[in-house]
Structure 1
Amino acid sequence: MIEGGSGDTYAVVLMDTQGTFDNASTYMQCTTIFALSTIVSSVQIYNLVDTIQEDSLQHLSLFVEYGRLALREAQQFGTPFQSLVFCIRDFKAPEDFPYGKEGGVQFLDQVLKTEPDQPEELKTVREQIHSCFEEIQCFLLPHPGHRVAERGSFRGHVKDLRPIFREEVRKMVVALLEPHILKPKIVNGKAVTCRKMIQFFKEYAATFDGGTLPEARSILNANARLLCIEACHEAKLTYCRGMDRSTSGPRMMPEKQLLRLHIKHGITALNIFDKCPKIGASEVRSKMLEKLQEDINAELEKYKRVNLEKRVTGCASAMTACGDSPLLGVGLGAAASGAVAATVMTMQAGLVSAGIVSIPIALGTLFAIWIYVYAKPYVEQCFEKGEKDDIELRAL
């Protein structure tokens, strides 16, 4: 864990792919490892001995092809890869190019320069390497010492390394890992978090899981899936937040109203997904859109169950739950009618004093009905405003 110059903390993973392009592995295995490690890395260190041979550049041909495709279809994301570092071990011409980064830059310029009489294939590879990587560096290192070269005598002790080799390695490490130099892994124009990196590993590994090297189009489709996965996550999160706000009340709402809210927030979610850049095969996007719609419909079923759990029972609770329906008005009207009828009966029976008392009661009941009908819209507006302010405060 290293704290960068910007204050962010980076999880730096050093991944060794020892054995690449050696005699113990097939060309297919080596190319797969090399390609996969380049795609998932922010910095790919290409470890070579003595010099940069032409076939070493040809190993980058997959990236050249993919880079050409990505630059055409996903140009809004910039260069497909970030940093390529040539590490030339056992460099034998320090009198022409000094050890370290400075000599490495001079040496690399000579190797990657294009000549008029060069074959077109070699010229194209060099041009595409420059266009595919955001940054290309080179470090020249001396031989580590004979005690290291002899496996029988080397036990991994730093003291057995030549002092000049230790110093040049130290300079290279500082140049690559200094806090203000560190950059996060960028995929599709966005910095990748550790959690998202797991998904990226799975997606890329599935792309390379076969008997042949994947085509550049397959890698681009993997990137398209990653984009769609992220867009689906954001869209679903927006839908759930909107539904949570709209259904946060304690009372059960009619199913038609719940469906209207589902459609409203569902459209918002689909608009978010639609803004996802359109790269790769259209089938990839269609499948991810179908999955998003299935996920949103599954969330609706959850909101339906929660809404049903808010159903109230009991006479008093039922009366409260029906407060926004005609039932309460009917109930009050019936009570007023009963009070008026009782007044008439008591007066006919000669109980004038009781009738005089009943008349104000009946009139008071009718007045209460009028107050309810007149004031109900204003009371509801006040409650809605209060809920809205409460939601905004919680959001802040």
Structure 2
Amino acid sequence: MASLRSGSGVQVVTPREDHTFLLDEEALQNLLLRADVKDRPVVLLSVAGAYRKGKSFLLDFFLRYLDHTVVILLMDTQGTFDSNSTVKDNATVFALSTMLSSVLIYNLSQNIEEDDLQHLQVLWPEMVYVGLFYIDPEFKSCLKKLVPMLLAPENLVPKQIGGQKVKARDLLNYFKSYVDVFNSEELPNPMTILQATAEANNTSASSEARNVYETLMEEICGGTKPYMPQNVLEQEHHKCLNKALHSFDSKKKMGGEDMATKFKQLLVKLKAHNESKNVYRMFSTPAVFAALFLCGYLLSVLGNTFGVQTLVAVGQAVTLGAAVMLGVWIYTRMTGNLREVGMQLDDIANKIRSFVVTQAEPALKES
């Protein structure tokens, strides 16, 4: 149980005083975008129910059962029906739990009341109330049946939307969409929820297609690859783009053809934007070194003009250093060799550019 004790829960949704919910995207990304998790189908088991009725206690037993390497997410939820929560708060917690999870447990204590059924129609069988100082034998008997029924490998239920299994990285998009929808002043209607699901579904398909494009292009012309003629690079770009678009088209998507077309157009724009950034990077570093070379040359000229040898020496050193760095950078780009050196030179150029911009910004504002 050492690994269980060393772990901790990660809060990804926080209720705010104005009865809206704050999504911690960074925490969620750290959880769902890990290299060993992001491309796996996700099983999300959530427990929802009234405040102080044993939801976290129940999840603790699930964690004990899962004390080995698996890709299963267990989601605890905010307790409902306490003195501080509104009807909208309670409904939002249940709705988010239901839409995000592949298995939902409705945790109840004692008898099922009519208002319980109004919040959720499909319920898990009620379990015996657990005291603080002992575990009732009947509860243990039910627990031994419930936990394997939910978490045994042959019984796991992967999350599916539109008939396709949801990967961990896709779940991030659904979290964002659903939290945004339920942060409105009124509870959303079914069509609004369907629209949010469709947008998240298309965003996931677009992200996967973009990943296909970037992976293929990295294999063809990544930093370790030798120089490639522009016409050949253009041909490879179109091949990779077509494969990425095919990946997008082959996915089952919600929202109709109009929404799919909108996201397909967005995907093409993202590729163009990505290429423009690559072109900017390509010319940014040599431009900085060329400017540095020119500054060094001007310093040398000024030093000679006024007879200041120190200024001449500094100018010559700057000129020589800029020329060497520019030559090495061109060599790394043309041959694909010394990739780490090229990255370090890019970093040096970025720092020089940032320093100049920082120093020049106050003067520009004053003028």
Q: TM-score, normalised by structure 2?
A: 0.49
Structure showing greater Rg: 1
TM-score by length of 1: 0.46
